[in-house]
Amino acid sequence: MKKPLRLSIILFDGFTALDIVGGYEVLANVPGIEVEFLAATPGLVNADTRRLALLGYRSFEQTLATDILYVPGGPGVFKGVNDQALISTIARLHESNTWTLGICNGVELLGAAGALQGKQVTTNWFARERVAAYGAQVMPKRYVRDGKLITGAGVSASIDAGLYLASLIAGEELAKTIQLGIEYYPDPPFGSGTPDTASAGAQAMVRMFEESAAERIEELKTPY
């Protein structure tokens, strides 16, 4: 039997759940991949809504190295880029792994970890300037590969980027099988997923929401 591949998903306070679960649902179904959730301290970590919590059951220190590093985004990134434990863990696991997957504004965390200099990447549309400031060339694409670094656009792009990474790891036929397993023939009721297609009002509202997100989630209380 082939050695299993370790997929380490990084949790931090204020992550966005779909940034994680889109790619997780694809990659956890690749035979031989073993998923683990890492947190600064093992225990529950709260999503940006303060209504959903995921369990991180290994500490950052417990995982000395990994095969696949998965860095999600969310409003918590605003604080996260200055969190030394988080950033040094990302830098350390990125150094010796085979693949790194960054989603949404989680790509900024990779920048703070020194992983973006001279790299071609994508990110959430409102994080493009901040990611470019880390020396990356930001492409307005759904997912981008540069060597071992795979990056995805905002939130729901974790599914597409996950399928792409699954095909690189296990082949196109297996990735297509997983796509059927999660019945992914997306068909949104509206076409409004990009700044180019959304109304000016929707763009302004999302920008305002995102810019205030870090402060807003500080005020939200969990019901648990």
Active site (catalytic) residues? 104
Query: Under rule CB under 8 A, how many of the chain's residues touch a second copy?
Result: 72
> Residue 3 corresponds to which tokens in the numbers above?
């050695």
Smallest gap from residue 114 Cβ to a second copy (A): 26
- The region of 85-93, 94-102, 112-120, 198-206 touching a second copy under the rule CB under 8 A is 198-206
Smallest gap from residue 84 Cβ to a second copy (A): 26
Is 197 an interacting residue with respect to a second copy (CB under 8 A)?
A: yes
Q: Could you give the residue ranges of the DSSP H alpha helices within 81-199?
A: 84-96, 106-112, 128-132, 157-170, 172-181
- The region of 79-87, 90-98, 109-117, 159-167 touching a second copy under the rule CB under 8 A is 159-167
39 versus 115: smaller Cβ distance to a second copy:
39
Smallest gap from residue 141 Cβ to a second copy (A): 9
How many whole angstroms separate alpha carbon 165 and alpha carbon 27? 8
Please list every residue from 10 through 29 that binds a second copy, using CB under 8 A: 16-18, 20-22, 24-25, 28
How many whole angstroms separate alpha carbon 100 and alpha carbon 69? 5
How many whole angstroms separate alpha carbon 207 and alpha carbon 168? 34
Please list every residue from 48 through 77 that binds a second copy, using CB under 8 A: 49, 51-55, 57-58
31 versus 118: smaller Cβ distance to a second copy:
31
Q: Which helix (H) or strand (E) holds 56?
A: strand 53-56
* Of positions 137, 192, 215, 218, contacts a second copy by CB under 8 A: 192
Sequence-distant (≥ 6) Cβ neighbours of residue 127 within 8 angstroms? 73, 104, 105, 107, 108
Smallest gap from residue 218 Cβ to a second copy (A): 17
> Residue 87 corresponds to which tokens in the numbers above?
């950033």
* Of positions 91, 132, 139, 206, contacts a second copy by CB under 8 A: 206
> Residue 22 corresponds to which tokens in the numbers above?
């889109």
* Of positions 4, 34, 85, 133, contacts a second copy by CB under 8 A: 34
Is 41 an interacting residue with respect to a second copy (CB under 8 A)?
A: no
- Please report, for residues 15, 34, 50, 143, 168, the alpha-carbon distance to residue 160 in angstroms, rounded to integers and kept in the order given: 19, 20, 26, 7, 13
